[in-house]
Structure 1
Amino acid sequence: MRLLPKKTGKPYPVKHYVNIMLFILFTALILDFIISYASISIVKQQSTRYLRDTADLYINRINHDFAYINHYMGWTLANDEIMKTMDKSQTASTEFLKSNTQLHQRFTELQKNYGQGYNFFFYIKNKDFFLNCAPLSIQYPDYLELKKQVISYTQDKNIYERFYSEWTPIHVKNKYFIINIVPYNDSYLICLISADELIRPLRAINLGENGSVSLINEKRESISTPIGAREKQLQQNTFKPALPSLVQSQTTVSRQFSNASFRVQMIIRFGTFEKIMVAQLLIILLALIIALTLCVVMLYFNKRVLKPIQSFSDNLAQLSEGGRDPDFESSKLIELEDANLQFKILIEQIKRFKIDIYEKELDKQRIQLDYMKLQIKPHFFLNCLTNIYSMAQMQMYKEIEHMTLSTSKYFRYIFQNGQNFVRLKDEIDHVRVFLDIQQHRYRNAFRYQIEELIDTQDIHIPPLVLQTFIENAVKYAVSRVSEVQISLSVSRLIEHHEDMAVIRISDSGPGFAPSILEKLVSGHPLDQSDGNHIGIMNTLQRLELLYRRKAEIRFGNREEGGACVTLIFPFHPPESL
């Protein structure tokens, strides 16, 4: 499409082109402003939604912890022989001291599971005996003040409604704590946690430079300690946004705990978005300045540039119509004469571009394979860290060394492997590392056996294929009820005059569900909406792209119980990718 007339005639004035340019530029500026504002709003909404979901997950976890601890203390008071022995025995007797030690050990384990921030105490009213039954995370003066308050609370007839049915904030030595008192006859079990400790995980979230997290009681007062002067100012609402009409700089997320008389409040500050808006306005202003400058430039170079370009366009039209080379001898610009040669070179480049398009399609397939190949579930890494942390708490140093080394080997193999095919021996070694990691987690819940042939070790297969099905076996077959056997065997088969490697993965678990097995056997895709079956479907797609139906996967359930997956690969991988 040509902007200038095909034949010699009345030329368009420069104003015509300036108007077109200004119209396009003005439209682009408006679109840029709309898109920028929409982008800021969308990012803000998504960030707020993410923080709300995070708060909901946190609240649900704390509600579960509160409910379990409350139930555990109630059951201990009502049914545990330890408490009955302590209630009947004298405080200086051997039976009382032995029961006290057992109770301390039990609640120490409970504290390890739910965090050192939880403090546990018991009080026997008729013996006036008050003592902690787990390691303390509060200072001794706070302990003495708490003891006085708890003893006074036990005199209240409404202690059941006030402290047992709800987790209630109390004020001890200028600090707020959350307390739950479980009464049974004249015995009481108490759980206490600092308000600041309760919201410590939420304070680790990035809520903006001026964001804050706090606990609010029924009187809408903050019962958590502000962090620095900034958070104090936030609680007093002294922050004023720079652009209140364009961007709302503050969003408040509030969530109520169940069985508690307080709630968590997250104040999200979006000062960064105001800076983005200012930057967008500066960009628009800069574009306007550039547009005015271009208008002056176009007027200045009208006779020196536009007219020679019009002549050049006419010559190109002659080339398009008659097929003969254009004549640039009368051109006043040497650059336009050079453009003739570049135009001829361009024709040759177009031919090469067609070949490049085909090659880019192949690259696109490679990228798709790499994406599916390198998908890693982040929760696996977090589980590894959690296991190492648990071992550290139990002082299992040798197990920590082995677990750390296995985890390092596991992720080194994943991150350093950028090929489409790897040796079968390396893939099986990676599976061993994965199973060793899982054995640290499940202990004696499963055993595994790997059988491989020497002449099949150098076969090349796609990476992480075996791990997908081994991981599926661990996820769905392994339980802590009975020991599960996981087996991996490699054999050789000649099919259609071609050497094939047969890899069989089986387990002694419950096997595939009938509905899932029916879809796998018939080749229908599995439902991935809930985040399950992604690994199996990705593996099937990878094998289809790499082998073009020369590889085969068979799914089934064993007669003696358990799932069985058989993979058949050619000895020599295809070279198309």
Structure 2
Amino acid sequence: MGGTIPRISWNSIRFKLVVGLLAVTVPLITLLIYSNYYSIGVVHNQVALSSKNMVSLYMGQIDTQLQDADRNLLSLVNSNFDIASMDNPKSDDEYVLAKHRVSNTLGRDIVLYKSVDAFFVYSESRRDLLDVFKSAVTFAERDQVEQYIQRYLSGNPDHADAGNNSWFVQSIGQDYYMLRIVKSGTLYVGAWVNAKTLLVPLNLIDLGSEGSSLFVTDQGIPMVSTKPLPDETVDFTKGFGQYYMSGSKNNLLIVGEPSQEGNFSLAAVIPDRQILQNLPMISRVIETISFASIGLLPISFLFLHKIVLVPLQRLIAVMRRINDGNVNVRIESYPASDEFQLVNQTFNKMMAQIEQLKINVYEEQLSKQKAELQHLQLQINPHFFMNSLNILFNLAQVKNYELIQEMTLCLVRYFRFMFRSNLTFVSLHDELQHVRNYVRIQELRFPGSLTCNIDAPDFLENVPIPPLLIQTFLENSIKHAVTLEEPVRISVDIDLNEKGLEPCIEIVIRDTGKGFSEEVLTEIQSGNRVIDQQDEHIGIWNVRRRLQLLYDGKAAISCYNGYPRGAVVEIKLPYQPER
């Protein structure tokens, strides 16, 4: 069975100390951590702004070069006579001559546009392609691009129409290309550039040893980069309106600028560790202090627990035991602060004085209870004494010397037992002998009007009970039930009841008299002294008081009327054979 979680009071010193410590340290640590992250955010903003400006500048230069090449293409389409001749030649010779002149024109123009790798003119009707390349373009690349252009323009004219308004990105072979195509009649005039060509100036961008710049498509697909990307999971689909962090560990700063001339963007990727390596030393100091404070917090709790809370817990544990009634416990000596040692010594001294005072009071209470018990026992004796003298007087009048002798012997036995009545307990055997002797005296007093039957098991003979317990109720029965009009039977049944949680001795006293009146029963059940028209029922109250003193509330007396008549008294005593 698992241990239960201890309940901590909100008003306890432990709770207040812990909350106070947390109220001071947690805001301080939070402020330091926030300051550190704020500094990181400021550096990110500065680096992102600087990189954004630089990328925007280079993207603007590239757009300007592409725009110049676009204007040249539009100029050729709108004002070049040779282009018009190729579109609508009068003869094949005129087409060939116009094609030659256009080739010369494009050859001169290609030198002027550094951002363009090739110009071309494609005749849809003749399936003829004219193109002019820079010297850096290899034959394999030239052949690959020519085949793509012919397939693209001859096999899918819809795509050709889609590229009429701006430069567009196309993957050809292993590389990406930006193409611009302008349609004029049956001719397509265009230019293309390898993305690697546009990337050459970007090598001059200082993004650090680990940073890289690259072109990406409008779908966020990387085309070409100055350096390999540090993480292949970088996301370029979030747009470049503002900077953001990406990568598998979210440690890459991404900035970019979309092109105004085509469906591509220029982006920069800068690792976070490269950005933060130039942070001021205060950032590292703040971070060190923050983590040190977090690490020292448990140590502070342990120190607080050992110096303050442990002594308090020991003091509280002793107080709880004292609250349970163990006034003899003391706080053991252990190493502690001077203040707690003074408190412990004073507390132990005070408890020793309280214990001694409690012992004195307890002994005084015992003496008082013993005196009260003896007084209650002796309080019963005058009733019988007066009745006995009356019996002897009556026998002397009739000169019945035999009964006077028997009566005198019974009285001797009776008073011999009464002289021992200052005892707290007597055996059940002695009590019953005394009861039988008492009943015989009463039978002599009421000849033929009283019979008494006593039934008790032999194994209960040595059980201790309070003296004069049974006689008191027999005396009440004889006093209130016996008359000269009809005989009265009294029975005393004693047995051991083991059905409850603890065994008890049951003593049941019944008579065949008229029983208790309702008023008397009410008073008896309320625990009050009973006063009726005849006399005060002092015996029942005395017995109940004696049992309360002797058994501390574990004994019980109940009185009721039997059926069809008569009084019944049930007494239950704890079974304590060792007492």
TM range (shorter): 0.3 to 0.5
- Report the TM-score when normalising by structure 2: 0.38
